[in-house]
Structure 1
Amino acid sequence: MKTVWTPLGLKSLDKTTNFIEEQWNEDVVDNFLDQLDERIEQLKRNPRIGPTYGQTEFRQLLIHPLVTLYYELKTDYISLTLVWANKKDPDELREELKRM
């Protein structure tokens, strides 16, 4: 199954990689992006790998202990919706997902 990034997904990925680079360095960003690519490949093979998030249609896939990818299963593709830093306020997460 193919994957498609939403505008919010791309924006949140960009914010996350910029934050990682500011805190650590480009090597850590590259490692994170490799982990993300591996997890997305797993997701393509098994779209239901991630558990659902609360009472929503979104699913969550842990990329790293500090980062989760939220996605939705569509008829023909997987919508990559949001990259989330797990230390952030969970109420903000719910608000972001409500807007989708």
Structure 2
Amino acid sequence: MKIKFTKQAIIERDQNIQYLLDEWNISVASQFLDEIDERIELLEKGILEGNYDTDLGMYRILIVSQITMHFVVENQTIFITNFWNNYKKPLWL
């Protein structure tokens, strides 16, 4: 499977990284990126599928306790749509 990031996903990923750099350190930010890379690698190989959220109409995978990655699958491409802060209200509220 191919992986593509939406513009929104790139913005949110980068905002999370900047937050980690500002509030924590480069090691924590690097660890966050490693977690994302690990999940994407498993998705590409078909080892990890994620949980389908019927309310959102997309899949989700926990990256770290605070952040969930959402994605949709179209043909042979996985589109990463966003990185959601789990402490915010759900998208549909």
- TM-score, with length taken from structure 1: 0.84
- How far apart are residue 9 of structure 1 and its match? 0.7
Where do 1:12-51 residues align within 5 Å?
12-46=12-46, 49-51=49-51
After TM superposition, where is structure 1 displaced by more than 3 Å over at least 4 residues in a row?
none
1:94 and 2:77 equivalent? no
Task: Give the partner amino acid of 2:43.
Answer: L
1:72·1:78 contact (CA, 8 Å) conserved in 2? yes
1:38-59 CA-partner distances (Å, limit 9, x unpaired): 0110111227611112333210
2:20·2:28 contact (CA, 8 Å) conserved in 1? yes
1:36-88 CA-partner distances (Å, limit 9, x unpaired): 10011011122761111233321001111111100000112000000111112
Q: Percent identity?
A: 29
What is the number of residues matched between the two proteins?
A: 93
1:63 and 2:63 equivalent? yes
Q: Which runs of 5+ in 1 are unaligned?
A: 96-100
SS at match of 2:78: strand
Distance in 1 of aligned mates of 2:92 and 2:37: 25
2:5·2:81 contact (CA, 8 Å) conserved in 1? yes
- How far apart are residue 89 of structure 1 and its match? 1.9
Task: Give the partner amino acid of 1:94.
Answer: W
- TM-score, with length taken from structure 2: 0.89
